[in-house]
Amino acid sequence: MTDLPLPPVAAPFRLPFHYGALHQVGVDWLVDPRPVRELLAKHHPDLTAATFDDGRALVSLNYQLYFAQYPFGGGVTQEIELSVIAFPTTEAGRLPRLDYAEYAQGWDQTKLLGIARLHVVCDNPFAIRAGRELYAEPKYPGWFEVALPSLNGPAGRTWTVRCKAGEVGPDDTLRRHAAPLVDLTARLDGLTPVPANTAPVTGYGTDPAGRLLAGPMNVYQPYEFYDLAAPEHSGRTRLTLHAPHTDLGRDLHALLPSDTPAAGAWTYQSAPVAAHNRPYYLPTGPRP
């Protein structure tokens, strides 16, 4: 038994952080474990990369759009995370043996298989600070152009995300740059997903003092998992790297050769809480 204190919660933040709504898409790739282990040793030395089918490691890229309500009003945030699936090295003896499809559907109820974040690009300076200070996330500024499945739009299940560079100005606002970083597309139309009980999702971070943190995130309904392992699904996802000389670009290039097919995709969309319906005409009497 350990006697570790809880990490501090810096002002003005409060935990847990409650999401008012969340829309999320993730794409997973099974890859050569060697570059994954090298990057993990650099970023999170106390984690070990999990291996699945044929000993391959798992790289995941996920986009989030979320809303939060604060005492002063509301805020909308977008971010994209590049992660590898890993576990604390000291806990290796507790892990079940799973293939990728079993992991993706939430069979690891130890929740030790978590996301070891390598890069997080975010469009909200307040969320960037919170991620860094609370969860030791490698979080930095960028912005997004997206097309998402929506009840307020045409029917379909295609997600298109373009992430562009940005910076936080001295006035603590986001300044957008024109340069694109990465594009992600997932065409999930016509596929039947299965419910995936993957939450709580454990997110790992390593703070500047080298301490390993684990931050679980509860999601209050199942994810939807799309198995893309069949060869006929190889064209359903597309990842385009626009900035190969950035840290994000170099790591993506090292982890994901351009011809790597996706193993699966997963989505979550908050249920609507209200609907403003179509109006109708009322009969009126004769006008004077």
Condensed to tens digits (0 to 9), the pLDDT of residues 166-221 reads: 999 989 999 999 999 999 999 999 999 999 999 999 999 999 999 999 999 999 99
Question: Percent of the chain beyond pLDDT 70?
Answer: 99
Amino acid at 34: R
- SS3 for 72-109 is CEEEEEEEEEEEEEEEEHHHHHHCCCCCHHHHHCCCCC
Condensed to tens digits (0 to 9), the pLDDT of residues 9-61 reads: 988 999 999 999 999 999 999 999 999 999 999 999 999 999 999 999 999 99
Q: What is the rounded average pLDDT for all residues in the chain?
A: 96
Residue 144: alpha-carbon gap to chain centroid: 14
In this prediction the pTM is: 0.95
Instruction: Give dist(CA 260, CA 238) in Å, integer.
Output: 10
> Which of 2-6, 65-69, 118-122, 227-231 is predicted least confidently?
2-6
pLDDT value of position 138: 97
Structural contact between residues 11 and 59, judged by C-beta atoms closer than 8 angstroms: no
Residue recorded with tokens 């650099």: 42
pLDDT value of position 284: 92
- The confidence band for 2, taking pLDDT boundaries of 50, 70 and 90, is low
Residue 181: alpha-carbon gap to chain centroid: 16
Biggest CA pair distance of the chain: 86
Instruction: Give dist(CA 236, CA 259) in Å, integer.
Output: 13
Residue 29's CB is within 10 A of a number of other CB atoms, namely 21
Amino acid at 142: G
Residue 122's CB is within 10 A of a number of other CB atoms, namely 28
pLDDT value of position 1: 55
At 119, list the tokens. Answer: 């890069």
Domains in the chain, start-ordered, CATH in brackets?
21-269 (2.40.400.10)
- The confidence band for 288, taking pLDDT boundaries of 50, 70 and 90, is confident
